[in-house]
Structure 1
Amino acid sequence: MQFKKRLGLYISALLVVLLVGIVFKNVFIKEATVNPIVENEDGTKQLVFDAKLTRLDESSTTFKEYNGKVLIVNFWASWCGPCQEEAPELKDFYNNKSENVELLAINATSKDSSENAMKFQESYNLNFPIFLDLDGTLQKSFEILAYPTTFIFDSKGILKYTIKGSINQKELNKYIEKLY
């Protein structure tokens, strides 16, 4: 009986230490996160190139890797019907785009899963960069309300177009042409 009490006490103490450690980490050791979109004085929205992106393999990069290009940022989820319809169109667009244009797909991982994102990529044989939004930070910053939602930034990172709902290759090309 004495052994069970001690064991229970040790387990309780261990849990308390663990919880205190988690609270300490969350309060005092916050990872610096950069909001990926800021509003300029003239009211335009600007992409912050230092904002972190997490690849499918969970390695990280930033938008800086794509600085100087027209940037198409597409938010999607594997369970989203319109996203499934849009995937072949995005693949065709990516395969035919010019070098000064980049397409980035960001999975709504906080409402989906990285496993489903990988399966989606494989099933549609997608070859453009796909990123994970593990904690929903990017979705909040971009104010995503529905999937898919696509943002088109000029080569300086100024937001030019927001498209809510699916888009096809022809429409994307029309938006890109307007930037030149």
Structure 2
Amino acid sequence: MNKQILVLVGLIGLLGWGVYDYAFSEKDNMNDTSLNSRIENNDLISGIKEGNLAPEFQLQTLEGREVKLSDYKGKKVILNFWATWCPPCKAEMPHMQEFYLQNENVEILAVNLTTAEKNTNDIGKFVKDYGLTFPILLDTKGDIGETYQAFTIPTSYIIDSHGIVRKKIVGPMDKEMMEQLIKSID
């Protein structure tokens, strides 16, 4: 009798795990059909999880121009969080610049975590030294970095042309990785 109960509990546990695994794998592997349906029905939740509408923000560029994420709707966006003192960020930036110059259908928005900088004058020098031509946004209050959970840098989000978060990457990317990630959301 005890063996039968144990077997029954085990089978129920396996069945429960199977249902749980299926439900979450289906959600995580959201296909384009269901995404398109959610877009058409305006049934999107704002948040940083994959499949959510990327949270809107407005920041100033290094030159003082106001930029909103929604300004880039219709374009794929790599939203990158970085700081001048971060060695992996320094390694990543030449790859980002090369990718940016070769991909006019993709925008790179590089959000400097300005509150983490020791000297804000270093930002302009960094941009000049690396020859960066994509928009450099300044998160002077730290709100956007917090919203996007950029606790480890660099952290990047791949956002599709509908404004949907498709991938979060923690750590540096190279040009080939960026190309593969952007290609995967076509």
> In the alignment, which residue of structure 1 is the partner of 2:110?
105
1:150 to 132, 142, 156: 156
Residue 38 (1) aligns with residue 46 (2): yes
Segment of structure 1 superposing worse, 52-61 or 103-112: 52-61
Percent of paired sites with the same residue: 33
Distance 1:150 1:48 in 2: 14
TM-score using structure 1 length: 0.73
Structure 1 consecutive aligned stretches of length 4 or more whose deviation exceeds 6 Å: none
2:54 to 47, 52, 56: 47
Q: CA deviation at 1:75?
A: 0.4
Provide, for residues 99-132 of structure 1, a one-character-per-residue CA deviation record: whole Å limited to 9, x for no partner: 3211110101011143111111001011111110
Q: 3-state SS of the aligned residue for 1:175?
A: helix
Provide, for residues 143-168 of structure 1, a one-character-per-residue CA deviation record: whole Å limited to 9, x for no partner: 11111011001100110111100000
Distance 1:145 1:157 in 2: 22
TM-score using structure 2 length: 0.71
| TM-align CA RMSD | 1.9
* Runs (5+) with no aligned partner, structure 1: 1-36
* Runs (5+) with no aligned partner, structure 2: 1-44
Q: Which amino acid aligns with 1:87?
A: M
